[in-house]
Amino acid sequence: MNIPQVLQKVTQLYQGEKFAEAEDVCCQILKSDPAVHGALYMLGAILLRRGEVDGAVDLLRRAVTLAPAIPVYQSAYGTALFSQQKFTEAADAYRRAMHDSPRLASAHRGLGRALTQLWELELAIQSLKKALELGAPRAETLADIATAQRRLGKWHEGLESAREAVTLQPQFAWGHNILGLIQGDLGDFPGAKASFERAIALRPDQPEAYSNLAKNFRSTGHFSTAVETLRNVTNLSPRYVVGHANLGMALTDVGEVDEAIAAYRHALELYQDAPATRSNMLLCMNYSPKLSRQLVADEHRRWGVMHGLGSSPQPPAMRHIEPGKPLRVGYVSADLCRHPVASFFEPILQNHNPNVVEAYVYNDTQRPDEITARMKHLTPRWTDWAGRSNALLEKVIRSEQIDILVDLNGHTELNRLQVFARKPAPVQVSYLGYPNTTGLMAMDYWLTDAWADPPGSEQWYTEKLVRLPRCFLCYKPPADAPLPEHRVQQSSITFGSFNKLAKITDDVIALWARILAETANSRLTLKDSATADPSVCDAVRARLQKGGIDPHRVTLEAPRQRQIDHLSLYNSIDIALDTFPYNGTTTTCEALWMGVPVITLAGEPHASRVSLSILHTIGYAEWVAHSPDEYVRLAVKLAADTSRRTQLRQGLRQNMAQSSLMDAKGFVTALEAAYQQMWRERCLA
């Protein structure tokens, strides 16, 4: 038989799922003539089906080099590149296939899937719908469309697409998985759980549905079950990167910081090019007292090198600004909702002088709420970016000629640091949302104050420090905050901390044990989102007991849905005990606003000095300890001073309201002066 006849036989074997025989024939052909592109293509397709992606890419690359005008080769090559997570290259291959065969459904579908991974979501949906028109597998393509719609925040449309997919093909495990994700997005957690369990029943060998089920457990307060599920996932599929990354997040939820960091490291060993996973690890590292400041700084710089260098285009030229004309300042944040960042950002947006600063907001909030709506009314230059690509955001920032671009996320969830790495504005600033350096050389400034970052802190930042002449924060309390209630004379003192469990280290527990030991009949109240889970509460009590605290003296409060109920809990607390090395920020301000004094232990990193900055600003530096012994002494002393605590309950809110911490106009004036200083420096550079 001649080569075309042999290749026809190979095709028949492949279609009959006789892959081993088809592979043998291809190898025989290539042994005789390594340039038979049809054999290269078929062998590449066989290896791709078997999961040998690197080998498939090599063979298919050779095939498209020899015969670049054959569309199915390009499409298969795109699929192989997609499997390597080389989404840009995959999209290019699919486009080449479509150029020569505009009606090739597999190329349109592949392009849509690649664009979804590149967050070009509107284009992805267009391509996937075209694939449907051309006869692509309907259920599978509908699930792809649902995935893109979900990422774009079009949850109801995505729900419809996913439901149609599983109706058409009830045994379609991946369709049930996508349906579960969208149900969870819409708050239908029982429905999501059922969908994930259906997906698992259909494909028990696939780890994705298990991982998403664990996410559902986290969303419904079953944190320990989430950890257990993810541990099972990583045991069953040890090379499933997402499983290890999600395990890191779940372990952080329950306060197991060392294990969380180990899980993140494992994920990064399996796949290094994961900026979000590395950011999550960096955030977690701030909680640990076991890591040196140098190591943490080096890890932040590593993020900058891996995800921020080598890709930066030329920054835009500095715009000529006529005297008296405002700077264009753009703010990028995913937290403009009921989130701690909003408590400190809203007064800024509300008080900018339009003659000094023209504020632009690039809002990445996934779940907008009434606070989002309220802030949106504060500026006409507000755009929503959830589910849209980094490339498009960069393009818009450049087109709007932003002078100073401000990052409000740092290494927190859904950050856009890779946009900042591309230097779309001539001056870039990190502020507010994260207590450490970004590690990005493209980030010019870090906005702080002399309490949070005293002289000598410069070595830990890739940014230049700009210190405001006052606290770097401006607090706006919730409008519905209840009044502090007078605490009736108690026979015992109640200490409390409403910080995340991840902040409650063994060192913190050891000092709390000493404080309780030195204050007769005292109690401790803790509250976090994870204390909704009885199993987590049992683990916390075990940790406290191991650290010397009688668990019978501890109350673990479940989280409250309403802000007013959360703040009301402070009326049952006499003294708040801050955490270290990662202080509270919003929790510190909330306690003080409710008339509860806060005892803090200042350290060296920024995260260890935020409460110091707040307390100095409102005139209560006396509650700042500089050694463990002093932390214990200050807490015990205040516990014994009933009249002082009564006085504070009655007057602390007023004193705080009159302090510069809540002087929004004065703060924004100082902030605008800092922006002008940065601009002048860059103009002279």
As a three-state string, the secondary structure of 435-492 is CCCCCCCCCCEEEEECCCCCCCHHHHCCCEEEEECCCCCCCCCCCCCCCCCCCCCCCC
Which 3 state secondary structure label does DSSP give 80?
Answer: helix
C-alpha distance from residue 519 to each of 281, 494, 524, 632 (Å): 38, 10, 11, 10
Residue pLDDT, tens place only, 351-375: 999 999 999 999 999 989 999 999 9
**pLDDT of 183 above 80:** yes
Q: Is there a common fold for 206-308 and 327-474+666-684?
A: no
Is the peptide bond between 424 and the residue preceding it cis, with omega within 30 degrees of 0?
A: no
- Categorize the per-residue pLDDT at 473 as very low, low, confident or very high, splitting at 50, 70 and 90: very high
**pLDDT of 310 above 80:** no
- Categorize the per-residue pLDDT at 685 as very low, low, confident or very high, splitting at 50, 70 and 90: confident
Q: Say if CB 573 and CB 495 are below 8 A apart.
A: yes
* Tokens of residue 377, six digits: 């009314």
What topology is assigned to 206-308 in CATH? Answer: 1.25.40
**pLDDT of 12 above 90:** no
**Calpha distance 126→111 (Å, rounded):** 10
Q: What is the pTM of this model?
A: 0.92
**Calpha distance 210→464 (Å, rounded):** 44
How many other C-beta atoms can be found within 10 angstroms of the C-beta atom of residue 9? 14
pLDDT for the residue numbered 146: 98
pLDDT for the residue numbered 312: 60
Pairing of strands 598-601, 624-625: parallel
Domain 327-474+666-684 has CATH 3.40.50.800: no
- Exposure on the CB side of residue 287, measured as CA atoms within 13 A: 24
**pLDDT of 487 above 90:** no
pLDDT for the residue numbered 523: 97
pLDDT for the residue numbered 11: 86
- The edge-to-edge listing of strands for the beta sheet with 575-577 is 554-557, 523-527, 494-497, 575-577, 598-601, 624-625
Tell which residue, 405, 465, 675, has the closest CA to residue 683: 675
**pLDDT of 1 above 90:** no
Residue pLDDT, tens place only, 636-676: 999 999 999 999 999 999 999 999 999 999 999 999 999 99
**pLDDT of 516 above 70:** yes
Q: Where are the beta strands (DSSP E) in 355-415?
A: 357-363, 382-384, 404-407
- Categorize the per-residue pLDDT at 488 as very low, low, confident or very high, splitting at 50, 70 and 90: low
H/E run at residue 508? helix 506-518
Mention the CATH class of domain 494-662.
alpha beta
**Domain-wise residue ranges, the chain:** 206-308, 327-474+666-684, 494-662
Question: DSSP state, 558?
Answer: P
How many other C-beta atoms can be found within 10 angstroms of the C-beta atom of residue 369? 13
Q: Which residue in the block uniquely carries the two structure tokens 């109801």?
A: 156
Percent of residues, the chain, with pLDDT higher than 90: 90
Percent of residues, the chain, with pLDDT higher than 70: 99
Q: Where are the beta strands (DSSP E) in 221-308?
A: none
Tell which residue, 408, 321, 335, has the closest CA to residue 680: 321
Question: DSSP state, 388?
Answer: -
Read off the amino acid at residue 490. Q
In this structure, the chain runs to a length of 685
**Calpha distance 288→316 (Å, rounded):** 39
412-431: average pLDDT: 97
Which 3 state secondary structure label does DSSP give 356?
Answer: coil
pLDDT for the residue numbered 387: 85
**pLDDT of 93 above 80:** yes
**Calpha distance 681→683 (Å, rounded):** 5
**Calpha distance 311→275 (Å, rounded):** 14
